[in-house]
Amino acid sequence: MDLRTCLRQEGIELPIEIIEKLEHFTLLLQEWNRVHNLTGAKTVEAIYGNIIDSLYPLVFIERPKSLLDVGTGAGFPGFVLAAALPETEVVLAEPLKKRVAFLKYAAIDIGLENVKVEAKRVEGVEHTPFDLISSRAVTNTKLLLELTENISDSHTNYLFYKGSRVFEEIEAVQHQLDYDIVQKNQRNYLYIRGRV
């Protein structure tokens, strides 16, 4: 099935030029992955699955002016969100060199002008507070909030891609959170609105 149909089935409607960029990304990732082993998603189907997982929150989040993705790895979700949100300034924090090389190359080759790759751990990122901070498969919610304390403020929203442990993780956060959990298959999208 083509990417446009896959996205449509999930209720994600995107302009054709963005879908073409995501197809371009899929080809590049497959090519680089053969040599550099960047991600476990080896097939087109697996990459499309990761793209849909990354983009599904567009159905319920507010559009941010600035977005930080913590630990983007081979591009999920930050790079894919950047392709889908060309008006958003996106920073990808990723310390692993081969993944950084891929993200930088892909941003130039695909022509994403709204992306900046910070080749460092998120603790070292300096920026004014972001509108949205996302992260998938990096660390727990409490630590993510702590590590991004200096680059967030009371208006920052958070979008964490979680599994079944999301409820214990929320309990471990000591301060009160205003959040929604959007469930889709095995995924729990934790969307935290500002800090109460």
Ligand X SMILES: C[S@@+](CC[C@H](N)C(=O)[O-])C[C@H]1O[C@@H](n2cnc3c(N)ncnc32)[C@H](O)[C@@H]1O
Q: Reduced to 3 states, what is the DSSP secondary structure of residue 99? A: helix
Q: Does the footprint of ligand X cover residue 129 (CB under 6 A)?
A: no
Q: Whose CA is closest to 74, among 35, 121, 106?
A: 106
Q: Does the footprint of ligand X cover residue 138 (CB under 6 A)?
A: yes
Q: Does the footprint of ligand X cover residue 192 (CB under 6 A)?
A: no
Q: Does the footprint of ligand X cover residue 86 (CB under 6 A)?
A: no
- CA dist., res. 133 & res. 64, Å (int): 9
> b/e string for 39-58 if b means 16 or more Cβ within 10 A?
bebeebeebbebbbbbbbbb
Strand runs labelled E in 42-140: 66-70, 89-93, 115-118, 132-136
Alpha helical stretches, state H, 111-165:
141-147
- Residue 21 backbone dihedrals phi, psi, to 5 degrees: -65, -40
- Of 103 and 192, CB closest to ligand X: 103
CA torsion sign for 156, 159, 162, 166 is positive
Query: Site for ligand X (CB under 6 A): which residue of 32, 56, 71, 112?
Result: 71
Q: Segment near ligand X (CB under 6 A), from 93-101, 109-117, 171-179, 183-191?
A: 93-101
Q: Segment near ligand X (CB under 6 A), from 121-129, 162-170, 176-184, 188-196?
A: 121-129
- CA dist., res. 98 & res. 36, Å (int): 7
Q: Does the footprint of ligand X cover residue 137 (CB under 6 A)?
A: yes
Q: How many residues does the chain have?
A: 196
Query: Site for ligand X (CB under 6 A): which residue of 7, 122, 132, 151?
Result: 122
Query: Site for ligand X (CB under 6 A): which residue of 61, 67, 70, 90?
Result: 70
Q: Is 122 annotated as a binding residue?
A: yes
- Of 43 and 178, CB closest to ligand X: 43
- Of 5 and 164, CB closest to ligand X: 164
Chain contacts with ligand X (rule: CB under 6 A): 39, 70-73, 76, 93-96, 99, 121-123, 136-138
Annotated binding site for S-adenosyl-L-methionine: 71, 76, 122-123, 136
